[in-house]
Amino acid sequence: MFIFILLNFVSGQISIPLKRNVINSELDILRSGGLKDSKIMNYKDIIYTATIEIGTPGQSFSVQLDTGSSLLWVESSDCISCDDLDDQFNAKKSTTYKNTSILIESYYLDGSGYSGYLSTDVVSIGETNALSTTANFVLVYNDTGFDDAEYDGIIGLGFKGISNNISTFMDNLKLAGKITSKQFAMYINFRDFKGHGYGSPSSNLMIGSSNITKYSSNPSIIYNFPISPIDSIYEFWQVNSFTVKFGTFELSTGTQAIFDSGTSLILSPPGFLDTAISALSSLGLVCAVTDYSTIVCKCKDRKILPDLEFTYNSQTVSIPQNRLYLCDDKVCEMLVQEGSDVFWLLGDVFLRQYYTIYNMDNMTISFTPAINSMSDATVDDSSIFNLFLSITTILAVLN
């Protein structure tokens, strides 16, 4: 979930499987090994979560893994105005809890947000051989926009520059000597937007290291990109100066892209839909723009649909047609939504294609082709497709 703004600021190594639920120096570092994985449940390819514990004794929470923000937050059991997520933190039951009396207000790009007090306590992540350290988190007393959330909070995995230099969980781990390398790696698997299950192998977060031997389909291919600061401050997992192509159409050069595990789809800059409609029409396809600012096309052969490519210094990463579009036997919808900002926001639709290594020491993000990335995204009655637009409505738009 891409964080929009922080409004107020006042007064080893571990391998962690991910869970997902639904709501509306390089080569030697990348090949370092990890701990044993464990399976956990996933659901519909929309949100990826991990289990953490906060406090002494530990209280358990399922938190979304979000590279587009930087703070960890959970609701307080004394919440004044909250959406009442499943599990809330009871500060009175923790012998190690401390309230700094610093009020934090934060809002995400989708309009959801929270306010609460910056706190510290013991935070642990991982089911076995867990990493534990005293860490910052926000204990929330007011929030909005999380009514249907299938998680208890969010753990931000972006840079502390987003949040007025409040140390992140990754910062806390490194400062405490719990990890020697401030990096993490994620594999997020794909189950065709259907139901819940484990997937094989399960999605995985590894902190302090990575394991491309297990999670890459071709470990010899690694794309390394430098992270770009904003006014000399590192905030997001942002790479500047991409050249973007949609099929044979070159869309732009010198383009910014932000990689965000908390965003399900891909958000484009303004103007993409018009260009994409022209490109698709040149292939003889009948297409239309939906009320959701996505594109739907009548299409019986998805293989003719264009890929979306991002090139930096002759290195190209892409979303191929089999994952860029969600199709049934008559209609395909592109999983790109036009936004209002000048950058691309590359969410899970993109990140599922690659095992991604986020390195906060070297300020790089690296991609190697993920395992199990070749299946088509298809739709049936149980699919997420119905969250965007029903088949009946789509056909009406195109007729």
User: H-type helices in the chain, by residue range?
Assistant: 26-30, 169-175, 212-215, 272-281, 321-324, 348-351, 385-388, 391-398
Closest by CA to 187, choosing from 211, 203, 170, 169, is 203
Which one of 121, 143, 152, 260 is the catalytic residue?
260
Tokens 């979306």 belong to residue: 308
DSSP state letters, 128-187: SS-EEEEEEEEEEEEEES-TT-SSSEEEE-S-GGGGTTPPPHHHHHHHTTS-SS-EEEEE
Q: Catalytic residue at 45? A: no
Tokens 């929309």 belong to residue: 46
CA distance 228 to 384: 34
Q: Catalytic residue at 329? A: no
- Long-range contacts, stretch 351-354, CB < 8 angstroms, 24+ apart: 351/186, 351/188, 351/259, 351/261, 352/45, 352/188, 352/189, 352/190, 352/323, 353/317, 353/318, 353/319, 353/320, 353/323, 354/317
Q: Which tokens belong to 385?
A: 């497709």
Instruction: Give whole-number Cα distances, 191 to 37, 151, 398, in Å.
Output: 19, 19, 28
Burial 212-229 (b: 16+ CB within 10 A, else e): bebbbeebeebbbbebbe
Which one of 37, 45, 66, 348 is the catalytic residue?
66
Q: Which residues are catalytic?
A: 66, 260
